[in-house]
Chains A and B, each alone.
Chain A
Amino acid sequence: MALVLDGVRVRQRGETWLHDIHLELSSGMTTLVGPMAAGKTTLMRVVGGLLPPDAGRVVVNGKDVTAISVRKRSVAFVYQQFINYPSLSVYENIASPLRIARSFPKKDMDRRVREVAEIMGIGDLLDRRPAELSGGQQQRTAIARALARPVDVLLLDEPLANLDFKLREQLRGDLKNMFRDSPGVVLYSTADPAEALTFASPTVVLGEGRVLDMGDVADMYAQPPTLAVAATLSDPPLNLLPGVIREGRIECLGSSFPSPGAHDSGRNVVLAVRPHQVTIERSGSEVLEFPAEIRLAEVTGSATFLHLLLADGRHLVAQLPGTQLFTPGERAVAYVDPAHIFVFDEVGGRLLATSAAEVDLHG
Chain B
Amino acid sequence: MADIRLEGVGHSYDGGRTWALKPMTWTWRSSRAYALLGPSGCGKTTLLNIISGLLSPTVGRIWFDDREVTAVPTAGRNIAQVFQFPVLYEEMSVYDNLAFPLRNRKYPKAEIDQRVRRVSQLLGLDDHLRRRSRRLDPGRQQIVSLGRGLVRSEVAAVLLDEPLTVVDPALKWTLRSKLKEIHRDTGHTLIYVTHDQTEALTFADEVVVLNEGAIVQAGEPTELFLSPAHEFVGHFIGSPGMNVVPAEIADGVVRVAETDVGRAVGELEPGPVHIGVRPEFARLGGEGTSPGLPVQVMEVDRMGAYNLVHVKAGDHPVIAKTEADARFAPGTVEFLHLAPDRTFLFRDSVRCGSIAPLDAGEPLDSIAPLDGKGAP
- Check if B198 is an interface residue, CB within 8 A of chain A: yes
The residues of B that contact A192 with a CB separation of less than 8 Å are 169
Nearest CB in chain A to that of B279: its residue: A302
A interface residues, tally (CB under 8 Å): 45
Judging by beta carbons under 8 Å apart, are B236 and A300 in contact?
no
Judging by beta carbons under 8 Å apart, are B301 and A274 in contact?
no
Judging by beta carbons under 8 Å apart, are A301 and B301 in contact?
no
Judging by beta carbons under 8 Å apart, are A166 and B201 in contact?
no
B interface residues, tally (CB under 8 Å): 45
Distance in angstroms between the alpha carbons of A166 and B324 in the assembled complex: 23
Distance in angstroms between the alpha carbons of A236 and B304 in the assembled complex: 12
Nearest CB in chain A to that of B139: its residue: A36
- Check if B221 is an interface residue, CB within 8 A of chain A: yes
The residues of A that contact B169 with a CB separation of less than 8 Å are 35, 191-192, 235
Judging by beta carbons under 8 Å apart, are A200 and B301 in contact?
yes
The residues of B that contact A164 with a CB separation of less than 8 Å are 39-40, 195
Judging by beta carbons under 8 Å apart, are A169 and B238 in contact?
no
The residues of B that contact A359 with a CB separation of less than 8 Å are 324-325
Judging by beta carbons under 8 Å apart, are B198 and A300 in contact?
yes
A300 with B221, Cβ < 8 A, contacts A35-B168, A164-B195, A192-B169 known: yes
Judging by beta carbons under 8 Å apart, are A165 and B173 in contact?
no
Judging by beta carbons under 8 Å apart, are A166 and B170 in contact?
no
Judging by beta carbons under 8 Å apart, are B324 and A361 in contact?
yes
A166 with B304, Cβ < 8 A, contacts A135-B40, A298-B202 known: no
User: What 0/1 readout, one digit per residue, does chain A (279-317) give for beta carbons within 8 Å of chain B?
Assistant: 000000000000000011011111001010000000001
From B1-9, B222-230, B357-365, the one touching the partner chain is B222-230
The residues of B that contact A235 with a CB separation of less than 8 Å are 169-170
Contact of B222 among A193, A295, A301 (CB under 8 A): A301
Distance in angstroms between the alpha carbons of A35 and B197 in the assembled complex: 21
Distance in angstroms between the alpha carbons of A323 and B227 in the assembled complex: 13
- Check if B312 is an interface residue, CB within 8 A of chain A: no
Distance in angstroms between the alpha carbons of A299 and B204 in the assembled complex: 9
Distance in angstroms between the alpha carbons of A274 and B173 in the assembled complex: 14
Nearest CB in chain B to that of A321: its residue: B280
- Check if A12 is an interface residue, CB within 8 A of chain B: no
From B22-30, B46-54, B110-118, B176-184, the one touching the partner chain is B176-184
Judging by beta carbons under 8 Å apart, are A274 and B305 in contact?
yes
B38 to chain A: closest CB distance in Å?
A: 9
- Check if A356 is an interface residue, CB within 8 A of chain B: no
- Check if B291 is an interface residue, CB within 8 A of chain A: no
Judging by beta carbons under 8 Å apart, are B241 and A300 in contact?
no
Judging by beta carbons under 8 Å apart, are B225 and A237 in contact?
no
Judging by beta carbons under 8 Å apart, are A169 and B239 in contact?
yes
A197 with B304, Cβ < 8 A, contacts A169-B240, A237-B170, A298-B177 known: yes
Judging by beta carbons under 8 Å apart, are B184 and A276 in contact?
no
A166 with B202, Cβ < 8 A, contacts A35-B170, A221-B304 known: no
Judging by beta carbons under 8 Å apart, are A165 and B225 in contact?
no
Distance in angstroms between the alpha carbons of A287 and B48 in the assembled complex: 49
- Check if A231 is an interface residue, CB within 8 A of chain B: yes
Nearest CB in chain B to that of A238: its residue: B170
Judging by beta carbons under 8 Å apart, are A166 and B173 in contact?
no
Judging by beta carbons under 8 Å apart, are B305 and A276 in contact?
yes
User: Which residues of chain A in 14-44 are interfacial with respect to chain B, using CB atoms and an 8 Å cutoff?
Assistant: 35-37
- Check if B41 is an interface residue, CB within 8 A of chain A: yes
Contact of A299 among B176, B184, B201 (CB under 8 A): B201
Nearest CB in chain A to that of B194: its residue: A165
Contact of B177 among A136, A169, A296 (CB under 8 A): A296
User: What 0/1 readout, one digit per residue, does chain B (178-208) give for beta carbons within 8 Å of chain A?
Assistant: 0011001000000000011110011100000
User: Which residues of chain B in 287-336 are interfacial with respect to chain A, using CB atoms and an 8 Å cutoff?
Assistant: 301-305, 324-325, 327
Judging by beta carbons under 8 Å apart, are A200 and B302 in contact?
yes
A301 with B180, Cβ < 8 A, contacts A165-B196, A197-B304 known: no
Distance in angstroms between the alpha carbons of A231 and B221 in the assembled complex: 28
User: Which residues of chain A in 160-178 are interfacial with respect to chain B, using CB atoms and an 8 Å cutoff?
Assistant: 164-167, 169
Judging by beta carbons under 8 Å apart, are A302 and B302 in contact?
no
- Check if A233 is an interface residue, CB within 8 A of chain B: yes
Judging by beta carbons under 8 Å apart, are B222 and A299 in contact?
yes
Distance in angstroms between the alpha carbons of A270 and B294 in the assembled complex: 47
By CB atoms of chain B within 10 A, which of A197, A298, A363 has the most?
Answer: A298
- Check if A218 is an interface residue, CB within 8 A of chain B: yes
- Check if A328 is an interface residue, CB within 8 A of chain B: yes
- Check if A134 is an interface residue, CB within 8 A of chain B: yes
The residues of A that contact B303 with a CB separation of less than 8 Å are 194, 197-198
Judging by beta carbons under 8 Å apart, are B325 and A300 in contact?
no
Distance in angstroms between the alpha carbons of A231 and B181 in the assembled complex: 25
B364 to chain A: closest CB distance in Å?
A: 26
B84 to chain A: closest CB distance in Å?
A: 11
Enumerate 30 A-B pairs (CB-CB under 8 Å) in ascending A order. A35-B168, A135-B40, A136-B40, A164-B40, A165-B239, A166-B197, A166-B241, A169-B240, A169-B241, A197-B302, A198-B301, A222-B304, A237-B170, A237-B174, A274-B305, A296-B177, A298-B176, A298-B201, A299-B221, A300-B202, A300-B221, A301-B201, A301-B238, A302-B225, A302-B238, A302-B239, A323-B226, A328-B184, A361-B302, A361-B324
A165-B195, A218-B304, A236-B173 provided; 18 other pairs, C-beta below 8 A?
A35-B168, A134-B41, A135-B40, A136-B40, A166-B195, A166-B241, A169-B241, A193-B304, A197-B303, A197-B304, A299-B221, A299-B222, A300-B198, A300-B225, A301-B201, A301-B226, A301-B237, A363-B325
